[in-house]
């Protein structure tokens, strides 16, 4: 059962598979119309202590959730935007080489259904539309990035594999946020659905909080996550807020 949270909670929320249902391609995800306003309401109730921690870039996060904007970690923690708007890259300037990106593009020509998602620092290869290519895709990316590569690592995802900087993770992103206002001193809750979220969950537990897996706590359903967030927002806002909303709706 998902726990309630209070105004001293810090929320860290994954995006795809957690707040949004997984789609056939990254571009075809559907954002429920009520989600940006809900997140903005929660952020206000928590004094700003809400961050989106995603494999997507910061620009893509903002595009999907506009007009909502908050602290966020993009590309599994490569890019961090703090509550005051400051953006930090860890490590600055490191990006997947162009030759690797070009090599991966050839996969889309050889294997229909394989999609390459370029990112500012990394690059993801999706095989959701061609799951039978799992082994071949992994062989191809391992040829570029061996296990002992000093700068980059392979990041497994749901029917995808990503090349990203070795020096970052969602766990390190949570650590960075928890050392700054308004997160410092709060009890963190990290919610995620995928392998890359495990580091974020571990960091939340390290700070006395919780890591909640969507499959275990929310029936594997992002709609249940959104419902839980909405219920907690209504409870934290109190009866006076609910009465004001009712009065406004009936006016």
Q: What is the pLDDT of residues 78-101, one digit of tens each?
A: 999 999 999 998 777 788 999 999
Indicate the residue among 147, 165, 183 that finishes a domain. Answer: 165
Helix (H) or strand (E) holding 87: strand 87-89
Same domain, 69 and 175: yes
Q: Look at residues 224, 201, 188 and name the one whose alpha carbon lies nearest to residue 1.
A: 224
Contacts of 129 (CB under 8 A, 6+ apart): 24, 25, 113, 114, 115
Same domain, 219 and 233: yes
Query: Containing domain of residue 50, as a range?
Result: 9-90+168-250
From 14, 193, 194, 197, active-site residue = 14
Residue 138 lies in a domain: yes
> pLDDT > 90: what percent of the chain?
82
Provide the number of structural domains found in the chain: 2
Q: What is the pTM of this model?
A: 0.89
48 Ramachandran zone, left/alpha/beta (phi>0; psi -120 to 50): left
User: Does 242 have pLDDT greater than 90?
Assistant: no
Indicate the residue among 110, 133, 165 that finishes a domain. Answer: 165
For residues 55 and 246, which has the higher predicted lDDT (pLDDT)?
A: 55
Residue 1 lies in a domain: no
Same domain, 175 and 238: yes
Same domain, 35 and 18: yes
Distance CA 121, CA 75 (A): 8
Same domain, 111 and 235: no
Same domain, 85 and 182: yes
Residue 161 lies in a domain: yes
Residue 2 lies in a domain: no
Residue 120: give its domain's CATH number: 3.30.70.1020
Indicate the residue among 135, 165, 195 that finishes a domain. Answer: 165
Same domain, 70 and 181: yes
How does pLDDT run across 197-236, given as a tens digit for each residue?
999 999 999 999 999 999 999 999 999 999 999 999 999 9
Contacts of 71 (CB under 8 A, 6+ apart): 48, 50, 51, 52, 80, 81, 82, 83, 177, 183
Residue 3 lies in a domain: no
Residue 74 lies in a domain: yes
Residue 4 lies in a domain: no
Same domain, 122 and 103: yes
- Give the chain's length: 251
Same domain, 174 and 83: yes
Q: Cα dist. 122→11, 59, 77 in Å?
A: 25, 14, 11
- Is residue 14 annotated as a catalytic residue, yes or no? yes
Question: 10-24, 162-176, 188-202, 231-245 — which is least confidently predicted?
Answer: 231-245
Q: Cα dist. 72→75, 192, 241 in Å?
A: 10, 14, 27
Per-residue pLDDT at 251: 33
Per-residue pLDDT at 240: 55
Residue 192: give its domain's CATH number: 3.40.50.1000
CB atoms within 10 A of CB 41: 18
Q: Average pLDDT, stretch 169-176? A: 97
Same domain, 159 and 176: no
Same domain, 78 and 23: yes
Same domain, 19 and 63: yes
Residue 186 pLDDT grade (very low, low, confident, very high; cuts 50, 70, 90):
very high
């Amino acid at each position: 059962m998902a726990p309630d949270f209070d105004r001293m909670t810090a929320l860290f929320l994954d995006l795809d598979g957690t707040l949004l249902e997984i789609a056939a391609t990254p571009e075809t995800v559907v954002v429920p119309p009520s989600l940006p306003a809900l997140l903005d309401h929660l952020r206000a109730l928590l004094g700003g202590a809400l961050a989106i921690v995603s494999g997507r870039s910061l620009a893509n996060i903002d595009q999907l959730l506009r007009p909502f904007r908050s602290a966020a970690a993009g590309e599994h923690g490569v890019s961090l935007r703090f509550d005051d708007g400051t953006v930090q890259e860890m490590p600055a300037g490191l990006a997947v080489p162009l030759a690797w990106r070009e090599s991966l593009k050839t996969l889309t020509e050889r294997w229909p259904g394989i999609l390459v998602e370029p990112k500012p620092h990394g690059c993801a290869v999706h095989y959701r539309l061609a799951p039978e290519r799992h082994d071949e895709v992994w062989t191809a990316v391992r040829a570029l990035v061996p296990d002992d590569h000093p700068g980059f690592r392979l990041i497994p995802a749901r029917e995808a594999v990503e090349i990203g900087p070795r020096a970052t993770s969602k766990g390190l992103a949570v650590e960075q946020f928890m050392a700054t206002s308004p997160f410092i001193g709060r009890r963190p809750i990290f919610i995620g659905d995928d392998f890359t979220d495990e580091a974020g969950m571990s960091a939340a537990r390290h700070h006395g909080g919780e890591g909640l897996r969507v499959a275990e706590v929310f029936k594997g359903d992002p709609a249940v996550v959104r419902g839980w967030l909405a219920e907690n927002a209504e409870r934290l806002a109190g009866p006076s807020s609910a009465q004001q909303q009712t009065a406004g709706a009936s006016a």
